[in-house]
Amino acid sequence: MTEYSHLGKQLAVELHGITKRFPGVIANHDVELLVRAGTIHAIVGENGAGKSTLMKTLYGMHQPDEGTITVNGNPAQFKTPTDAIAAGIGMVHQHFMLADNLTITENIILGDEPVDSRGRINFKEARARIESLMTSLGATFNPDTNVSELGVGQRQRVEILKVLYRGAKILILDEPTAVLVPQEVDELFTTLKRLVAEGATVIFISHKLDEVLTYCDEITVIRQGTTVARTTPSQVDRRSLAELMVGSDLPDPSGRETKVGDDVRLQVTGLNLAGDIAGAKLALEDINVAVHSGEIVGIAGVEGNGQFELCESILGLRTILSGSISVCGHELSHTETRDRINMGLSYIPFDRHREGLLLDAPLWENTFLGREENSSLTNGPFISRSKIEADCRSIINRFGVLTPSEQVPAFALSGGNQQKLVVGREMVSDPKILLAAHPTRGVDVGAQAAIWDELRHARDKGLGVLLISADLEELIGLSDRILVMFDGRVTAQLDPATATPEMLGTYMTGEVQGDAR
């Protein structure tokens, strides 16, 4: 391990002994972080290892219970992000915080508007500053464009500009590449290198090892809430870094010795779905998908290319223009959601908070949700609380949900355990077909492996799965076939045995279309 003080370069950020206790989620303890000025410093760790918690501490979004923060050699105590901004720290969040109907300039100055002597916003001054920042960033867009017209990569550039505009010299980027395809990742790092060359410091949070090893100068590894290693890309390779993150043997999504059955469980034919705005182009265009028993069909694609709409159409939450949807040979395209569920359709939703859980309700009510027609849980029109509770306890045990009991409200669980509960609920009723959207998003390694096992196990027993995931390794590892969605269409079918994440990336941007041979 390198002792940075000998290297002569000043430390931009020093965290010593940071401990943050937090109910229900992994907190930080004894975190040691040293970031040299003028470098890109990666913080890597599994989902839920405590990376974001740590960065929120540094950005003043909450205060550490113990430990010290030093910025550019000066001890600092941030009560709010405003204090952190004043100290030259800026944060680009994972989820963009931009107002769609405002221009780039308006978004950037929002909350920090330059005003003239009469209290009016001085757009001229703002523009001048933004244009000079854009030059240094190498950005080429027109600052008067509406943000709604920008792509994901450009929006991220605007977020970075927003932070620079407020005078940040130390930039925290929270999983900035999660929403980008590989090509956009390249552009992002070109931008970051420029910034670093001009004296900025970048703290880069990620769990994607390849980009960390390719682009970053130094690496700090966080595991289960604490920093376990400091290293540089030249000292580690992909595997050893992964093992540092996980702390032991790596879980492996692969293991594909499947017997895909002959019977079609889900058949989508010629599906068209209108766009949200009248007259706009179709949200889904001529989608044809078949999932057989014992088959996992993966859907790859950058978020927002129709995956969500496809799931909602299959579930009957959207009225399709034309086409047919059938489960086990029964035509369902004009039936209600509840009938489709009763036919054996199950759904692990994209966002467990918005579509999966009743956060304020106890766990037993959550596992009952959507299963009101299950006669073993009810007495005629009445619910049978004792039976539902017993059923919930069995889900908790089978899926390893960490909870004191089935009576606690769902919000008291950590994200991974909430996800396990949702997965358990959807799988326990032995569905014929499962729509699994990001089944392991935001869960820890152990839970991820458990969910993968359950999926594989059910698949072996004949379940058909439509798997939508942003985790390309998960897609390649679990799927029997991979379909790529781009712009509302299925643009390619790939064989996971030969597909690589890079290859998927080129398909996902729409650069390449057509089946890989």
Partner 1 sequence: MKSQRLQRMAVTSASSLLAVFVALCICAVVLLITGKDPIEAYRTLFGAAGDTKVLQGSLNRATPLMISAAAVAIGFKMNLFNIGVEGQMRVALLATAVAGAAVDLPAPLHILFCFVVAMATGAIWAGFAGWLKVKRGVNEVISTIMLNFVALSLVAWAFDSFFRAESTTGSVLVKTKELPTSAWFPDIVDRRLSGMFFIAVLVLILFYVLVWKTKFGFQLRASGANPGASRATGVNPKRMVMISMLLSGALAGLVGMRALLGDVHAYQNNLAEQQGFNGIAVALLGRNHPLGIFISALLFGYLGEASGRLQLIDIPKEITTIMTGIIVLAVVIINEAVKRWDDRRIQHKAAVALETAVVAA
Phi/psi of residue 509, nearest 5 degrees: -80, -5
| Count of residues of this chain found to bind partner 1 when the rule CB under 8 A is applied | 41
Q: Which helix (H) or strand (E) holds 203?
A: strand 201-206
Pairing relation of β-strands 433-437 and 170-174?
unpaired
| Nearest to partner 1 of 378, 506 (CB atom) | 378
Q: Does the footprint of partner 1 cover residue 290 (CB under 8 A)?
A: no
Does 402 engage in binding with partner 1 (CB under 8 A)? yes
* Angstrom distance (rounded) from CA 96 to CA 111: 16
The two structure tokens encoding residue 10: 């000043």
6 binds partner 1 (CB under 8 A): no
Decide: 27 and 20 in contact? Cβ < 8 Å.
yes
Residue type present at position 60: G
Cβ 380 to partner 1, closest distance in Å? Answer: 9
CB of 392 to partner 1, least distance (A): 12
Whole-number Å distance between alpha carbons of 212 and 217: 9
Q: Using the minimum distance from each CB to partner 1, give the nearer residue, 152 or 359.
A: 359
Contact present, 217 and 232 (Cβ < 8 Å)? yes
Q: Say whether residue 446 binds partner 1 (CB under 8 A).
A: no
Could you tell me where the DSSP H helices lie in 17-96?
Answer: 51-58, 81-86
Site for partner 1 in 309-368 (CB under 8 A): 315, 317, 336-341, 347, 349, 354-361, 365, 368
Q: Which is nearer to partner 1, 216 or 395 (CB)?
A: 395
CB of 193 to partner 1, least distance (A): 41
Least Å from the CB of residue 140 to partner 1: 39
Is the distance from CB of 324 to CB of 269 less than 8 angstroms?
yes
Task: Establish if 405 lies at the interface with partner 1 (CB under 8 A).
Answer: yes
Kindly tell me which residue out of 16, 19, 24, 272 binds partner 1, with binding defined by CB under 8 A: 24
Residue 386 binding partner 1, by CB under 8 A: no
Count of C-beta atoms within a 10 Å radius of residue 157: 23
Considering the rule CB under 8 A, would residue 501 count as an interface residue with partner 1? Answer: no
Reduced to 3 states (helix: H, G, I; strand: E, B; else coil), residue 271 is: strand
172: helix, strand or coil = strand
The tally of CA atoms less than 13 A away on the side-chain side of residue 334 is: 1
CA–CA distance, 270 with 97 (Å, rounded to integer): 37
Segment contacting partner 1 by CB under 8 A, of 21-29, 153-161, 175-183, 460-468:
21-29
Nearer to partner 1, 23 or 75 (CB): 23
Q: Is 246 in the site for partner 1 (CB under 8 A)?
A: no
181-220: contacts with partner 1 (CB under 8 A): none
Binding of partner 1 by 496 (CB under 8 A): no
Query: Which of 23, 75, 119, 329 touches partner 1 by CB under 8 A?
Result: 23
Residue from 413, 427, 450, 485 touching partner 1 (CB under 8 A): that is 413
Q: What are phi and psi of 62, to 5 degrees?
A: -150, 165
Closer residue to partner 1 in complex, CB, 140/379? 379
Locus of tokens 């670093």 = 196
Positions touching partner 1 (CB under 8 A) are: 22-24, 315, 317, 336-341, 347, 349, 354-361, 365, 368-370, 372, 378, 381-383, 402-409, 411-413
